[in-house]
Amino acid sequence: MQQEASKQTQKDLFAPWQLGSYRLRNRIGLAPMTRMSSEKDSIPRQDVLDFLVRRAENGVALITTEAIVSDYESAQGYPGQARLVTQRQIDAWAEVNGRIRAAGGVSILQIFHCGRVAWPEVNPAQRIVAPSAIAPRQANPLTQAPYPVPDAMSLYDIEHSIQGFVETVKGAMAAGFDGVEIHGAHGYLISQFLSSYSNQRDDAYGGSLDNRFRYAREVVEAVRPWVPQDKLLFFRISNWGVVDMEVSLFADAQEWKDLIAHIDALPIDAISVSTYRFSDEAFGSGMNMAQLTRSVSRKPILICGQIHDRDTAEAALVDADMVLSGKSLLLNPHWVADIQARKPLRAYRSEEANIAYTKEPLP
* Residues labelled catalytic: 188
* Dihedral in degrees, nearest 10, Cα atoms 51, 55, 57, 58: 130
**Burial category of 122 from C-beta neighbours within 10 Å (exposed 0-12, middle 13-18, buried 19 and up):** middle
Smallest CA-to-CA distance from 265 within 223, 219, 297, 232 is with: 297
Q: Is 137 strand, coil or helix?
A: coil
Torsion angle, alpha carbons of 350, 352, 357, 359, to 10: 180
Q: Are 233 and 182 in contact (CB under 8 A)?
A: yes
- Cα 209 from Cα 263, distance rounded (Å): 12
Cβ atoms < 10 Å from Cβ of 310: 18
DSSP secondary structure string for all residues of 310-359: HHHHHHHHTT-SEEEESHHHHH-TTHHHHHHTT---PPPPGGGGGGGGSS
End-to-end CA distance of the chain: 32
DSSP state, residue 231:
S
Give the SS3 label for residue 184: coil
